Structure 1
């Protein structure tokens, strides 16, 4: 009987010891909380491959854990930190589709836009699809989550993206203008004024639009563009040329 009690007590002791050890150090284990904590530490240390490994382990091994959804978001964050912006955008977008009511959904929307923003090339002559997408996604954030703490920064970033698009539009317009393709360049300068007003390109665009219309014999449109230039930019560097061209229009002169 005493031996039985001794064995029972020993088993009980080690059982208590085992479960106490498990409870006291969850962050270092392989349960959901432990793996997530390891992922957070790796992300903090910029050890991105390990961070991705840990967060993905949480997601796949413990899909019903409260940490699983957060691990999905941290996977996207890790890709973003890696500057893998194509992949981070896709990860954030999947998260948005799967968890539209998540409390951090405005943050997710901001990061989608920012992932596109950081894909915008420096050279305005290159494809600017990412800039268009960035503008669209920033606009979603601003309109859908107007009280978000990310709105003000989104407005600044969206202006930067729109400026890049305006720069591209002017580049193409100037390309046609330099080759005297006045009809094609007029479309671009008109687009610049319609879509990117107030970004620093208006003055030159108005003058050159007036020139393009003059050479394509759209005289009333030419006069309108030049008069608008003089009205909105009375100290314009193009003032002399604009006044001279208006006189030509008055006299119906040809170049």
Structure 2
């Protein structure tokens, strides 16, 4: 009988409280590196975030102090033969662990403490808001181990300066970008002194988002992210259609009504609800 490492029992922790899902990458013994088991658990977690009406926003973070996520588990790829299987898969088939890859249109906040490296950068570039502690650092090791930096690196180029993205990509494991520099270049949105401060800020932002119309928030997120794949005029046309779609949702009536009546709005979490 093959012994199962007890540390691999829960590669992802998932909790929900007051409309906020917290997803914790839970492999601190290997830098929270991504294994096939973790990817499977993450895909299920993101599916629940997207489809559970009681969840309004998600926070993703890493267990421990030293690492947020260090990318794919090299030992697991080697020992499982998973690398050979990936050759016959498309990007959409092979990579299903970040909110963007799993088509999550609810807000997701990345809370980064410690090192985010290589594949772990997917969570950074694919989340909506990135909050980091001052001990966070960012690195891409692909070229240093003979691999191509292409996927998360493209996300870096869309999130920060082109020069910063290329510096991380081309210098490989020789360069760790400090959190302060990442903040200057736009990769990090909020910089906090400690891990506790970063997690508190992420929770604060999540609670604020929960107070807004879920459908308006979702469609607004979709408009902005989709604009990255369209020309400016086409993006505006697409945004206009999303804006009009909200006119048929009950929240479009509830928002002004609650304001006029000086009360808290009661939002309808069903995206298919119509007046």
Give the TM-score normalised by structure 1: 0.25
Higher radius of gyration, 1 or 2: 1
Higher strand share: 2
Give the number of the structure with larger relative contact order, counting CA–CA contacts within 8 Å between residues 6 or more apart.
2
Q: When the two structures are superposed, what TM-score results if normalisation uses the length of structure 2?
A: 0.24
